[in-house]
Amino acid sequence: MKNKIKYGMIGGGPGAFIGEVHRKAAALDGHLELVAGAFSSSPEMTQKMGEELGLESNRLYDSFEEMAKAEAALPKEQRIDVVTVVTPNHLHFPVCKVFIEQGINVVCDKPMTNTVEEAEELCRLVEKHDIIFALTHNYTGYPMVKEARHLVKSGKLGSLRKIVVEYPQGWLSEPVEEQGNKQAKWRTDPQKAGVSAALADIGTHAENLVEYITGLKIEKLYADTTSFVEGRALEDDANLLVHYEGGVKGILYASQISVGEENPLKIRIYGTEASLEWKQESPNFLSLKYPDRPEEIYKRGNPYLSDAANFGTRVPPGHPEGFIEAFANIYKNVALTIKARKEGNEPGVLAADFPSVLDGLAGVKFIHKAVESGKENRWIDMG
């Protein structure tokens, strides 16, 4: 493909799970090409990763600061168009900040930052420097999530009343951070993960999924948070009552000590006319239920679905699409938006469909308000 969007990566060095996910997703549709990186705090590991990926040695950098400065100094046709940030949470803000200030577009893993103040600062910088900023809430990339959003907007469910969203995992049910698990070690460390573990890691996905599908913002919440594993500084389980706009009530459950669970993110939305249900572990199906007729099952890839759902679909019905493809839909849309900007055009509505810096701010506020509620044992207003 001619005129590929050139991107660089911060983090995602040897053995990093999420960095490899991002690289596969970015490559899937052929819109982007990885040309530069600072993959590790160790220059040796960056060189090793770069060699494995076949990158030129002069585009491998010892630090993200060096990379931002050097790439911005290159001629426009050579430098990166966008940087992907896949570091532990505590580095998201400084990395994003330095690239935004150099006028380079950003794709950042969630949560966007560790503090609300940092998130607000990134919002100001994105507006000031007029760059494209995407947050990889990848579950919004699933075609049937987009279909769910379309059905809610079209009034298929009637007036919304109740939302139940859950994301249980079991991988932190034992103190694996003390047994050499690097992912667990930083995710349970307040110095790197911030004020939260389970809420910051997966609770924010649940929060974002509700807002993406329904458009509803949280007005107030009550959180019951627990660190079940002895000695763990951050919560590994959270149960929330949530009040949304318009009198809609909700339950949000995020847990990493739910033994035997893998990644069964699930959302149920109940309206006055119908309800819907989507499960991440069966992502190609969307269920609609009615009070007076049989349940309907919508299937990915069919022509009866919305334009938004089919825009994020690559293969015919019956061929499963999943996790990598959902990430890829975010990367595809970011690439199409950057291309449109380069050509002096506005991106199409479907191409502009990806989580933004404002979604990042909402997520960080949610995390902090939920942690505050859990500590103080009371309802907290989001305002």
Whether residue 254 is predicted with pLDDT greater than 80 in this model: the reply is: yes
Q: Is the pLDDT of residue 334 over 80?
A: yes
Lowest mean pLDDT among 1-5, 69-73, 158-162, 271-275: 1-5
Q: What mean pLDDT do residues 58-66 have?
A: 98
pLDDT in tens, 351-375: 999 999 999 999 999 999 999 999 9
Query: What residue ranges of the chain are covered by domains with CATH 3.40.50.720?
Result: 5-131
Give the CATH fold of the 5-131 domain: Rossmann fold (3.40.50)
Per-residue pLDDT at 1 exceeds 70: no
Q: Average pLDDT in the 133-156 region?
A: 98
Instruction: Please check the confidence at residue 93 and state whether its pLDDT lies above 70.
Output: yes
> Given a cut of 90, is residue 223 above it in pLDDT?
yes
pLDDT of 2 above 90:
no
Inform me whether the pLDDT recorded for 96 exceeds 60.
yes
Least Cα distance to 112 among 129, 132, 87 occurs for: 87
What is the structure's pLDDT at 309? 98
Over 80: is that where the pLDDT of 38 sits?
A: yes
At residue 244, the 3 state secondary structure works out as: strand
**pLDDT band at residue 116 under the 50/70/90 scheme:** very high
Residue 19 has pLDDT above 70, yes or no: yes
What average pLDDT does the chain have?
97
Q: Where are the alpha helices (DSSP H) in 199-322?
A: 204-214, 307-311
* Nearest-10 crossing angle of helices 92-101, 64-73: 20
Q: What pTM did the predictor assign?
A: 0.96
Strand ranges, E, within 62-182: 82-86, 105-108, 133-135, 160-168
pLDDT higher than threshold 90 for residue 3 = no
CATH 3.40.630.10 for domain 142-314+362-381: no
pLDDT of residue 383: 86
Say what the alpha-carbon torsion angle 156, 157, 160, 166 is, to the nearest 10 degrees: -120
Task: Check whether 136 has a pLDDT greater than 90.
Answer: yes
What value does the mean pLDDT take over residues 98-113? 98
Mean predicted confidence (pLDDT) in 132-140? 98
Average pLDDT, stretch 229-248? 98
What's the confidence (pLDDT) of residue 380? 98
**Average of per-residue pLDDT across 28-47:** 97
Q: Could you tell me where in the chain the CATH 3.30.360.10 domains are found?
A: 142-314+362-381
CB 145 within 8 A of CB 206: no
